[in-house]
Amino acid sequence: ERDKYENNDVAGVVTGLAWTSVGGDILFIESILSRGKGALNITGNLGKVMKESATIALEYIKANADLFGIDPSVFENYNVHIHVPEGATPKDGPSAGIAMLTSLVSLFSQRKVKKSLAMTGEITLRGKVLPVGGIKEKILAAKRARIKEIILCEDNRKDIAEIKPEYLKGLTFHYVRDMQQVIDIAVTSRKVARPKNLVGTTGKP
């Protein structure tokens, strides 16, 4: 039984695409902030590479806070927790990178993620998005889950070209080369319901 897209009003929730030997599926990246000193907590039975993706996403945002309109002193006042349900399923690989990046930008800006959108792609510290595998299976799973738009790396365009057009009906694809493009597409300008008023070092939001 596969998961369905959920129209979620909560900051930090992003839909990713997973691919295992038993086929594709969607997964959810969830992140929250609590008052603290900048610790990063990662749960969801993740392997080493997937945990590294979370670290890369957070460090990239911290190093480029200005690009994303985030007050950098916020990073010192909150702990970040990233979780990927379902907890019993081991998960690994770099392909959740752009979903983790999007989750954290949504979280720190308290802005809504675009509706009915899923994404898959590896991230790098130089801001590039890299292609990933299992595209066909992931796309089929996205359709089943009622996803409408999908972000992929430009280098994965050729993988879409190999899929029968009838399977792609109703899906819009966004091909990107860098992480700024992901955020421009995925994070809306609307605040989430009951946004947190994040406090910087100065003690002021």
| Residue 48 annotated to the active site | no
178 binds, among Ca ion, a second copy, none (CB under 5 to 8 A by kind): none
CA atoms of 155 and 129, how far apart (whole Å): 9
For a second copy, the closer CB: 4 or 190: 4
CA atoms of 150 and 122, how far apart (whole Å): 14
25 near Ca ion, rule: CB under 5 A? yes
Q: Kindly list the distances between the CA atom of residue 57 and the CA atoms of 52, 127, 197, in Å, as whole numbers in the listed order.
A: 9, 10, 22
| Residue 95 annotated to the active site | yes
Could you say which residues in the range 54-93 bind Ca ion, by CB under 5 A? 86
For Ca ion, the closer CB: 76 or 86: 86
Minimum Å distance from CB 87 to Ca ion?
8
Which one, of 114, 139, 161, 122, lies nearest residue 14 by Cα? 114
Task: Give the alpha-carbon dihedral of 91, 97, 101, 104, to 10 degrees.
Answer: 10
Q: Kindly list the distances between the CA atom of residue 124 and the CA atoms of 57, 103, 171, in Å, as whole numbers in the listed order.
A: 8, 16, 27
Tokens of 176: 């990107």
134 binds, among a second copy, Ca ion, none (CB under 5 to 8 A by kind): none
Q: Which residues bind a second copy (CB under 8 A)?
A: 6, 8, 10, 12-13, 28, 30-35, 41, 43-45, 48-49, 52-53, 55-56, 59-60, 62-64, 72, 75-76, 79, 81-83, 85-88, 93-94, 97, 122, 124-128, 130
93 binds, among Ca ion, a second copy, none (CB under 5 to 8 A by kind): a second copy
CA atoms of 28 and 44, how far apart (whole Å): 10
Q: Which positions lie near Ca ion, rule CB under 5 A?
A: 3, 25, 86
Active site residues: 95, 138
